[in-house]
Amino acid sequence: RPPAVVLARVTPLGPHHVLLLLEDRTESRRVEAVRRDFVANVSHELKTPVGALSLLSEAVEDAADDPDAVRHFAGRMRRESTRLATLVKEIIDLSRLQAAETVFRPETLEVDQVVAEAVDRVSTVAQQRGSEVVVTGQRGLHVQGDKELLVTALRNLVHNALAYSPERSRVVVEVRRGVGRVIGTPAGQQVPTIDLAVSDRGVGISQADLNRIFERFYRVDPARSRSTGGTGLGLSIVKHIAGNHGGDVKVWSAEGEGSTFTLRLPDPDAGPAERPTARTPG
């Protein structure tokens, strides 16, 4: 979009001078356009399961004399209402995350517990797909944050790793200390981090799509996403949770080879000498 500069005020300052006040509205217009797109997408996404539920309820009525057909349509209705519930929950989660600038209830958390809970939440999906989730790396590390949010973020990454890999595959969650850039890291510097890397050997993501997967409702393959109960909001939620914790999420991927998504959080145990603010220049 071109810059939107408007003439906000003209004030005469005497016979030969006027004061022109120009205002740059580029950012506020961009924010407004993003909001409009989001509302349009939400309406579209909600219409799909609502429409399906309406058609399925008609089908149940028409099939009243055929118990097998009724069971079949009732099953589909249950799946559509689960989808609708997930969608509504994620839309609300995302709006809350966008409104909040900091973490809601930060506390010192054991990384092992966060990982265990996230893995536990995908155990049913893993089992259904005959896949396994393996946890490796360092134990006994800590992060500072909101447990429910961090579990949600990691759960989303592990769920995707399972969903976008063939059945009977292995997903690895590796916990390690790292160095890198998180929010607020001055240019050219790196800080100690706690990295939670989720790797799969699934379908992978092309370079062109990599730039877009964190956008709300963006899916590389909408049919595949839908068949695994995806809403297209999962990664957007992960990105916001990472940001609210002063962290970030990095991705490496190659089409046909697999992907690694790394949730990178600031290391609260790093000594003050390791923090960028405590460094002496040079």
φ/ψ of 201, rounded to 5, equals: -115, 50
Structure tokens at 46: 């909600």
Contact 169, 200 (CB under 8 A): yes
Identified binder of ligand ADP from the candidate list 91, 153, 173, 205, rule CB under 6 A: 205
* CA atoms within 13 Å, Cβ hemisphere of 145: 27
Give the number of other Cβ atoms within 10 Å of residue 17's Cβ.
8
Q: Which stretch binds ligand ADP (CB under 6 A): 46-54, 127-135, 145-153, 213-221?
A: 213-221
Q: How far is the CB of 157 from ligand ADP (least distance, A)?
A: 7
Given the complex with ligand ADP, which of 169 and 236 has the nearer CB atom? 236
252's enclosing H/E stretch is: strand 248-254
Q: How far is the CB of 194 from ligand ADP (least distance, A)?
A: 21
Angle at 49 between CA 44 and CA 51, to 5 degrees: 85
Looking at residues 123 to 182 of the shown chain, list those that interact with ligand ADP (rule: CB under 6 A).
Answer: 156, 160-161, 164
Q: How far is the CB of 208 from ligand ADP (least distance, A)?
A: 12
Partners of 248 in the β-ladder: 264
Kindly give the pairing relationship between strand 170-180 and strand 132-137: parallel
Looking at residues 28 to 87 of the shown chain, list those that interact with ligand ADP (rule: CB under 6 A).
Answer: none
Q: How far is the CB of 229 from ligand ADP (least distance, A)?
A: 8
Q: Does 118 sit near ligand ADP (CB under 6 A)?
A: no
Contact 193, 182 (CB under 8 A): yes
Q: How far is the CB of 246 from ligand ADP (least distance, A)?
A: 22
**Alpha carbon of 234 to those of 33, 169, 227, 228: distances in Å?**
22, 21, 15, 12
Given the complex with ligand ADP, which of 148 and 221 has the nearer CB atom? 221
Identified binder of ligand ADP from the candidate list 80, 195, 200, 267, rule CB under 6 A: 200
Q: Which stretch binds ligand ADP (CB under 6 A): 42-50, 106-114, 121-129, 195-203?
A: 195-203
Looking at residues 214 to 253 of the shown chain, list those that interact with ligand ADP (rule: CB under 6 A).
Answer: 218-221, 225, 230-236
Q: How far is the CB of 230 from ligand ADP (least distance, A)?
A: 3
Question: CA 133, CA 119: separation in Å to the nearest integer?
Answer: 7
Q: How far is the CB of 69 from ligand ADP (least distance, A)?
A: 30
Euclidean distance between the first and final Cα of the chain, in Å?
40
Given the complex with ligand ADP, which of 29 and 38 has the nearer CB atom? 38
**Alpha carbon of 102 to those of 239, 242, 263: distances in Å?**
14, 11, 17
For ligand ADP, the binding residues (CB under 6 A) are: 156, 160-161, 164, 200, 202-205, 213, 218-221, 225, 230-236, 259
